[in-house]
Amino acid sequence: TRTNAALMARRRAALPAGLGQTHEVFAERAEGAEVWDVEGRRYIDFAGGIAVLNTGHRHPKIVEAVKAQLDKLHHTCFQVLAYEPYVELAERLIAKTPGDFAKKAFFLSTGAEAVENAVKIARAATGRQGVIAFGGGFHGRTLLGMALTGKVAPYKAGFGPFPAEVYHAEYPNALHGVTVEDALRSLQRLFKYDIEPQRVAAIILEPVQGEGGFYVAPFEFARALRRLCDEHGIVFIADEVQTGAGRTGTWLACEQWGVAPDMVTMAKSMAGGFPISAVIGRAELMDKVPPGGLGGTYAGHPLACAAALAVLDVFEEERLLERSRAIGERLRAGLTAMMARHAEIRDVRGLGAMVAVELFEGGDLSRPAAELTRRLCAEALQRGLVLLSCGLHGNVIRILVPLTASDALLDEGLAIMEAALAAAKS
Ligand code: PMP
């Protein structure tokens, strides 16, 4: 029989343990912000396939666009025979990316590949080797992605050696006592102890750390990095794989900085669930790699390009950026009220609809409540809500609900979350 338990048993027998799974559920179908499992149980989806479903499950416009593309062609390899949707997508993403300079864009399939390619270009363009990332950051599971990632377990442990010339500075974190000045000082320490700025190709920053715990980089920090990069000729890369495509209330989070990065990486929600990622950046840098140095067999797949173009249309037609801000406000209000009733919640934070709470034993900031967070996710699932945790200590609940979700669904989800928290505590 097709029960979750029976399928989990088959999964365990056939798949390696390293492939984690938050919830022991097999999904059967999904619509908007709801999913049904193989046993017919319904769930509200606050995870969005990890930040992929800003336009929701099976948005009719996206499904229609993909079907139409499927009826024309579905693979040529762009470097062999080109197709227009790829170019149109590049043009439209360039137009939406901040920076008063000429830009170019190209596509890969995953976030990790976008990050790898941004670094490749920064190195080729500057003739330098060093890359600086931040503690707690996440940039992917490829070798360079792991090297850039600032969290050892479970992402890096046992997988070395990693590519050389990658360094980590401190990410500002007000809740845990790392000020913007502390973070900037940690960069100066790298320049003193490890690598001269003249040898640094790129600094890569998540505008809001995703896997790391939904910590928002203060805009003044981004502006200080911009100045530092200008001073030393370093390429400033914003990794917007998780923040991009409207999650933070603007199309890209870096639009809110007041300064532009030289390069942006995107993936996840940019195509509403189809595998494509992007590097968008300063034309003079992007053109420094000779023909053949960039690309990939499936990179910029026609179906994913069609989906991504439909995502752009849906954002405009349904005013999803406004909705992202409104959802953010509604979630914050609900979670702030919840915090007043539960001492374990010590922080409600985020940018736009990228919202999280952080949990501590008895509200004590020195005791991250990872086990409580795990139980809360499990109790929520029992009650029909898919929640995701994150954070360096696994004690953060992050919300990545589709921006197409109704207020009623958001409220239903928040109520389940509170009931689950109460159950998890008892
Ligand atoms: N960068 C960031 C900021 C991410 O959040 C992720 C995925 N969680 C990645 C890169 C890697 O993306 P992918 O899993 O598509 O390779």
Q: pLDDT tens, 73-101? A: 999 999 999 999 999 999 999 999 999 99
CA of residue 111 to ligand 1 center, whole Å? 5
| 175 shares its domain with 28 | no
Residue 66 resides in a domain: no
Is there a single domain that holds both residue 273 and residue 175?
yes
The values of phi and psi at residue 357, to 5°, are: -125, 150
**390 shares a domain with 341:** yes
Residue 184 sits in a domain whose CATH number is 3.40.640.10
Look up 239 and say whether it is catalytic: yes
Euclidean distance between the first and the last CA atom of the chain, given in angstroms as a whole number? 34
Kindly state whether residues 393 and 285 are assigned to the same domain: no
What separation in Å is there between the alpha carbon of 72 and the centre of ligand 1? 30
The pair of structure tokens assigned to 47 is 């995870």
Residue 86 covered by a domain: yes
Distance in Å, CA 39 to ligand 1 centroid: 31
Same domain for 299 and 263? yes
Share of the chain above pLDDT 70, in %: 100
Pairing outcome for strands 235-239 and 200-205: parallel
Q: Which domain holds residue 95?
A: 73-317
Out of 138, 236, 274, 315, the active site residue is 138
User: Is 239 in the same domain as 265?
Assistant: yes
Chain segment 342-362, per-residue pLDDT in tens: 999 999 999 999 999 999 999
Residue 421 has pLDDT above 90, yes or no: yes
138 is an active site residue: yes
- Residue 160, judged by CB atoms within 10 A of its CB (0-12, 13-18, 19+), counts as exposed
Say whether both 140 and 173 belong to one domain. yes
Domain membership of residue 63 (yes or no) is no
Q: Is residue 291 part of a domain?
A: yes
Q: Tell me: do 295 and 324 sit in the same domain.
A: no
The answer on 331 and 217 residing in a single domain is no
Where does the pLDDT of residue 1 fall: very low under 50, low under 70, confident under 90, or very high at 90 and above?
Answer: confident
How far is residue 151's CA from residue 396's CA, in Å, rounded to a whole number?
15
Residues 119, 202: one domain? Answer: yes
What is the reported pTM?
Answer: 0.98
How confident is residue 21, by pLDDT bands cut at 50, 70 and 90? confident
Best of 139, 204, 274, 398 to mutate for ligand 1, by most ligand atoms within 8 A of CB? 139
Q: Is the pLDDT of residue 157 over 80?
A: yes
- Tell me if 203 CB under 6 Å of ligand 1: no
Residues 85 and 124 in one domain: yes
The residue from 293, 317, 341 where one domain ends is 317
153 & 196 share domain: yes
Among residues 317, 345, 368, which one ends one of the domains?
317
| 65 is a domain residue | no
pLDDT single digits (tens) 315-337: 999 999 999 999 999 999 999 99
How many structural domains does the chain have? Answer: 2
The last residue of one of the domains, among 251, 284, 317, is 317
User: What is the average per-residue pLDDT within 254-273?
Assistant: 98
| Active-site residue flag, 315 | no
Q: Is residue 257 part of a domain?
A: yes
| Residue from 351, 319, 280 nearest 98 by CA | 280
